Structure 1
Amino acid sequence: MRSAHRLRALCRGWTRAGALLSAALTVHSARNARLLRTPADAPPECAEAVSVLLPVRDEAARVTPCLRALLAQTGVPRMEVLVCDDGSTDGTAAVVLAVAAGDPRVRLLRGAPPPPGWLGKPHACAQLAAAAGGDVLAFVDADVVCAPHALAAAVHLLRGGDGGRPLDLVSPYPRQVAATAAERLVQPLLQWSWLTTLPLRTAETSRRPSLSAANGQLLLVDAAAYRRAGGHAAVAGEVLDDIALVRAVKAAGGRGGMADGTDLATCRMYTGWAELRHGYGKSLWSAFGSPAGSAAAAALLATAYVVPPLAALAGSRAGALGYAAAVAGRALTARRTGARVLPDVLAHPVSVALLLGLLADSWVGRARGTLSWRGRALG
C-alpha cells in the first residue's frame, strides 16, 4: 500500500511538472511570436547582386514550379540562378534547361561526385557558391515555391530592413504544406519546435550549438560572411548542413537567425508517411547532438506534452490544464506560421508521440548503418 501511494504521488508530481513546463513554453512561444522577424510586404528594390543557388538531385517532378517562381522574382534586377545537377538520373537537367528556355540568368552546373568526407548536398552547395558572383547567396530547395517578392523581401530582412540589427544569415521559414494525416500531424512541429523553445534574439548571436536553428529550404547569407565561416567546407559531413552553417557563421563572429517566411514561400517536403519517415530518419538523430541529448530532449517533450494529457484521461485536473496549455501553444504557433489550427492542434500529444517515435527510429537506423538519401549512404 505504501509503495502504491508513493507511485501515485510520483505520478501526480510528474504531471504537475509537465503541466508547468507546458505552460511556461506556451508563454515563451507567445513572446517569440511577437519577436519573430517579419519581412516587408512591399520591399524596396534590391540594389545588390543576388545569386540564387539551387542544388538538385532527381528532382524532375518538382523543380519546374520552383524554377518558374524564381524566374518570376520582382525587385531583384541583378539576379543569377545557378542550378547544380548533382548526379540526377531522372532527367532533371533536361527539365531545368526546358524551363529556363535560354534565359541568360540561369546557369546549369554539372555537379561532381562528393569526395570522401563530404555528403552530397553540402558538396553541391559548395560548388554553387564557388561559381556565384553575388553579394548575397540565396540557397533554395527544389520543393520550394517562392512568392514574387520573396528574394527582395528576404534580402531587405537580411540587411535589417525590419528595423532590427542586420544579420549575416537569415532563414525565412517557408509555410509548410501538409495534405495527408501523417503530414498534418508531424510537419507543423517544425516551426512549433523553434518558436516554442528557442530564445530568438539571444540565438542570433549565441555560439552555443543548442541555440541555433535554420532551414535550408530558403536561406540567405552574406557572401563575405559565408566565406569567413569556411562555407560549406566547414559543414561538409553534416546531415543538417543548414543548422551547421548558421553555427559556423556565428562562430566566425556573425549573426544569424530565423524569420517568418510564411508569405514568402511554400514547401511540401513529403507526400505521405513513407516519405516522411524516411526523410526524418536520415537526419533526426543529429538534431540534439548526441544520444544523451536526444534522450534528454525526448524526456522533456514527453513530460510536457504526453504525460499531462494521459493523466487528464485519468481525471487529473493538472493534466487537463497542461493539455490545454499545450494546445494553446500549438494553436498560437499555427496561426503565426500559416498552419492549420482546428482540429489538428487538438492532436498535439499524438504529434509529439509520433516525433519521439521518429527520433527513436532515426537512432536505430544510425546504429545499424542503414540511413540513406537519394541513393547515397549517410554513414
Structure 2
Amino acid sequence: MSPVASAVAAGVLTVHTAVNARLLRVPPSAEPVAELVSVLLPVRDEVERVVPCLSAVLASVALPHLEVIVYDDASTDGTAELAGGMADRDGRVRVVHGSTVPVGWLGKPHACARLADAARGNVLVFIDADVTVAPDGIARTVGLLRATGLDLVSPYPRQDAHTLAERLVQPLLQWSWLALLPLRLAERSPRPSLSAANGQLLCVDTAAYHRAGGHTRVRDHVLEDIALLRAVKAAGGHGVVADGTDIAYTRMYNGWPALRDGYAKSLWAAGGNIGASAGQVGVLAWLFVLPAIAMMRGSRAGLAGYVAAVASRVIAARRTGGRAWPDALAHPLSICVYGYLTALSWIRRLHGTATWKGRRV
C-alpha cells in the first residue's frame, strides 16, 4: 500500500473538507416564529443535566408559541422530581412519565415516540439533556428548517472536550461528515448512505415526521437519529446536518470510561456488519495512519499525507468551534482509538454485554 496514493487521497479529502466548511448551512438570524414549536426532551437519570437544559430552553426568545414536553424514562435519581418542579413553575412545561419499554423497542426511540405522540406543534425539536441551547438557538433552528424548505435539519452542537480521551475522539464527530459527506448532495439525495444527523438537536416538520413513520419506524435502531433521517428520505423528504456551533453546546462524555462505554454501545451500528465496520476502519487507517508511519520512516509522501490530514482536522475544528492545536496533530492516533472503540463495540455486541443506562442495546 503506497503512501503516495494515501497522501493524494488525504489531500483530496482536505480540499473536500474546505469546500464543505463553506457550504455548511448556518441557521439564519432569529425571527419570531408564528407556529407552535414543540421542544421534546427524553430523560433517564439526568439529575445533573435536566435543569440546565430546561432552563436554557425556557429562556428562548422569538418563540411566542412554545411547548416543552419532558419524557421521564423511569428515572431513579430525582430527575422526574426536578422536571416536575419546573413544570409547576412554568406552564409551558409538561412531564410525561414512562415505565416499561415494549418488546422490540430501544429506550430512546420509545421515549421520542411517546414525546411526539404528546406534541401539538407544527415543528418538533428533539433535544438531549446534555445540550444547552443559546437563547435564540431554537428559533434559528426552526428558521433554518423553513428557510431551506427541508423536512429535517440537525444543527450539530459544539462539542466541548476536556480530558485527553475526549480531545482525541470527540472532534472526529464533526470532522467525519465535513471530510467525507458531500453536504449539498446529501441534503437532496434519497440515498441512505448520504445521511448524517445528531439526535442531540434535531428539528423536523411534524407532517414529514409522521409521513416517515416517526420513531416507530426506527424503534430498534441504536443510531435512531440517522435512521430517522433515512426514514424521512424514504418517504420523499429531505434533510441534512447543519452548523450548530453558535446555537448549542454539549459535553457528551466526562472522561474515558463514559466515552468508551458510550461509543461501545453504538459504533457497531455505524457499519451495520463486521465486514463493513472493518472496511471503514481499514480505509481510515490507509488514509491517515499509513502516511504517518511512512513519515516516521523518512517518506516525503508520508509527510505530505500527514500534513493533509492535520490540515483537514484544523479546518473542521475552526469551522465548528473546536480546538485546533495541538489536537489536530494527533489525528492518526485519533483514528487508532476509533478503530479500537469499533472493535470493542462489536465484541460487546456479539457477547450481548452492550448496555446503556442500565439496559441492553
Counterpart in the other structure of 1:197: 180
The one-character-per-residue Cα deviations of 1:84-137 (angstroms, maximum 9, x if unpaired) are 000101010111123344210000000142111100000000000000000000
Counterpart in the other structure of 2:217: 234
Q: Is the 8 A contact 1:210 1:288 kept in 2?
A: no
Counterpart in the other structure of 1:283: 266
**Pick aligned residue for 2:52 from 40, 49, 65:** 65
Q: Is the 8 A contact 2:190 2:238 kept in 1?
A: no
Q: Is the 8 A contact 1:51 1:79 kept in 2?
A: yes
Q: Please tell me whether residue 128 in structure 1 is matched to residue 115 in structure 2.
A: yes
How far apart, in 1, do the equivalents of 2:205 and 2:335 lie? 35
Q: 1:290 to 1:206 in 2, by over 3 A?
A: farther
Unaligned ranges ≥5, structure 2:
none
- TM-score, normalised to structure 1, is 0.94
**Pick aligned residue for 1:32 from 20, 23, 36:** 20
**Pick aligned residue for 1:167 from 130, 134, 150:** 150
The one-character-per-residue Cα deviations of 1:141-189 (angstroms, maximum 9, x if unpaired) are 00000000001100000012xxxx4110000000001011110110010
Q: Please tell me whether residue 89 in structure 1 is matched to residue 76 in structure 2.
A: yes
**Pick aligned residue for 1:109 from 96, 106, 110:** 96
Counterpart in the other structure of 1:320: 303
Q: Is the 8 A contact 1:228 1:252 kept in 2?
A: yes
- 1:235 is paired with a residue whose SS is coil
How far apart, in 1, do the equivalents of 2:230 and 2:188 lie? 9
The one-character-per-residue Cα deviations of 1:14-53 (angstroms, maximum 9, x if unpaired) are x11211111111111111111100012x321111110000
**Pick aligned residue for 1:331 from 303, 310, 314:** 314
Counterpart in the other structure of 2:348: 365
- 2:161 is paired with a residue whose SS is coil
Unaligned ranges ≥5, structure 1:
1-10
- 1:336 is paired with a residue whose SS is helix
Counterpart in the other structure of 1:45: 32
- 2:266 is paired with a residue whose SS is helix
How far apart, in 2, do the equivalents of 1:100 and 1:147 lie? 21
How far apart, in 2, do the equivalents of 1:64 and 1:349 lie? 38
- More off after superposition, 286-295 vs 242-251: 286-295
Counterpart in the other structure of 2:8: 20
The structure whose Rg is larger is 1
Counterpart in the other structure of 2:233: 250
How far apart, in 1, do the equivalents of 2:142 and 2:271 lie? 30
- TM-score, normalised to structure 2, is 0.99
Counterpart in the other structure of 1:178: 161
**Pick aligned residue for 1:304 from 287, 291, 297:** 287
- 2:298 is paired with a residue whose SS is coil
How far apart, in 1, do the equivalents of 2:165 and 2:331 lie? 13
Q: Which amino acid aligns with 2:110?
A: H
Counterpart in the other structure of 1:143: 130
Q: Is the 8 A contact 2:87 2:95 kept in 1?
A: no
Aligned residues: 361
Q: Is the 8 A contact 1:122 1:236 kept in 2?
A: yes
Q: Is the 8 A contact 1:147 1:264 kept in 2?
A: yes
Following superposition, the deviation at residue 205 of structure 1 comes to 2.5
Q: Is the 8 A contact 1:186 1:351 kept in 2?
A: yes
Q: Is the 8 A contact 2:86 2:93 kept in 1?
A: no
The one-character-per-residue Cα deviations of 1:203-228 (angstroms, maximum 9, x if unpaired) are 11222221111000000000000000
Q: Please tell me whether residue 210 in structure 1 is matched to residue 210 in structure 2.
A: no
Q: CA RMSD in A?
A: 0.9
Q: Which amino acid aligns with 2:24?
A: L
How far apart, in 2, do the equivalents of 1:156 and 1:253 lie? 21
Q: Is the 8 A contact 2:26 2:242 kept in 1?
A: yes
